[in-house]
């Protein structure tokens, strides 16, 4: 009787063990084919494109720069919490900064705050990107900003003033309430 109970337990244990192995084997995700991965990336890009549309039309975003580039093409990495372009409806902020100096704004650069004038968005649904052109009147000058944003949330903004120079911010967009930027003192 004891051996029979033991055989039943052993058989039950083995059956459950094999059942667990077979269930586990079938539950693994099938690898997607190359075409399926490409279609999934395309669907994600299209979804991102429409989310960006809402963000850009609300005019409440921050371009947090990872790199700055001057008119000669020299490109340097920068802290994104100090180098940004902030748009908040009719107001905006342009700021450059550094972790190593004090500068005019207290964070190693310049801060210009002012009002946003003209605003023009151009959509390219075929290539999934936007171009935004606006100007900003600040206490230290009038600036034209030309920005491009793609569905991967890579943004680039070129700022020109009345002089011959230009500066390009390269980075990504964040919603105002998600942004971790630190605004320095306004440059006078």
Residue 29 is predicted with a pLDDT of 60
Residue 107: the pLDDT is: 84
Q: Which CATH class is domain 34-178?
A: mainly beta
Q: What tens digit of pLDDT does each residue of 147-180 get?
A: 999 999 999 999 998 888 899 999 999 998 888 8
Q: What is the pLDDT of residue 63?
A: 96
pLDDT at 8 over 50: no
Residue range 35-76, pLDDT digits in tens: 888 888 888 888 889 889 998 999 999 999 999 999 899 999
Boundaries of every domain in the chain: 1-30, 34-178
Give the angle 86-155-187 at the CA atoms, nearest 5°. 30
Write down the pLDDT at residue 161: 87
Give the least confident one: 3-7, 36-40, 66-70, 82-86. Answer: 3-7
Q: Give the confidence band of 116 by pLDDT, cuts at 50, 70, 90.
A: very high
Residue 145: band (very low, low, confident or very high) from pLDDT cuts 50, 70, 90? very high
Share of the chain above pLDDT 90, in %: 49
Mind spelling out the 3-state secondary structure of the chain?
A: CHHHHHHHHHHHHHHHHHHHHHHHHHHCCCCCCHHHHHHHHHHHHHHHHHHHHHHHHHCEEEEEEEEEEECCCCEEECCCCCCEEEEECCEEEEEECCCCCCECCCCCEEEEEEEEEEEEEEEECCCCEEEEEEEEEECCEEEEEEEEEECCCEEEEEEECCCCCEEEEEEEEEEHHHCCCCCCCCCC
């Amino acid at each position: 009787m004891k051996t029979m109970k033991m055989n039943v337990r052993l058989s039950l244990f083995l059956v459950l063990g094999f059942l667990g192995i077979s269930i586990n084997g079938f539950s693994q995700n099938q690898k997607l084919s190359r075409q399926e991965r490409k279609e999934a990336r395309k669907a994600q890009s299209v979804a991102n494109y429409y989310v960006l549309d809402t963000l850009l039309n609300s005019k409440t975003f921050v371009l947090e720069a990872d790199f700055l580039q001057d008119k000669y093409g020299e490109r340097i990495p920068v802290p994104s919490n100090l180098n940004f372009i902030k748009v908040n409806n009719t107001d905006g902020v342009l700021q450059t900064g550094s972790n190593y100096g004090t500068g005019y704004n207290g964070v190693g650069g310049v801060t210009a705050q002012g009002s946003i004038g003209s605003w023009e968005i151009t959509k390219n649904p075929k290539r999934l990107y936007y171009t935004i052109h606006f100007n900003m009147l600040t206490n230290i000058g009038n600036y034209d900003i030309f920005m491009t944003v793609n569905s991967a949330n890579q943004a680039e903004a070129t700022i020109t003033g009345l002089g011959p120079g230009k500066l390009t911010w390269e980075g990504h967009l964040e919603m105002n309430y998600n942004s971790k930027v630190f605004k320095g003192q306004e440059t006078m």
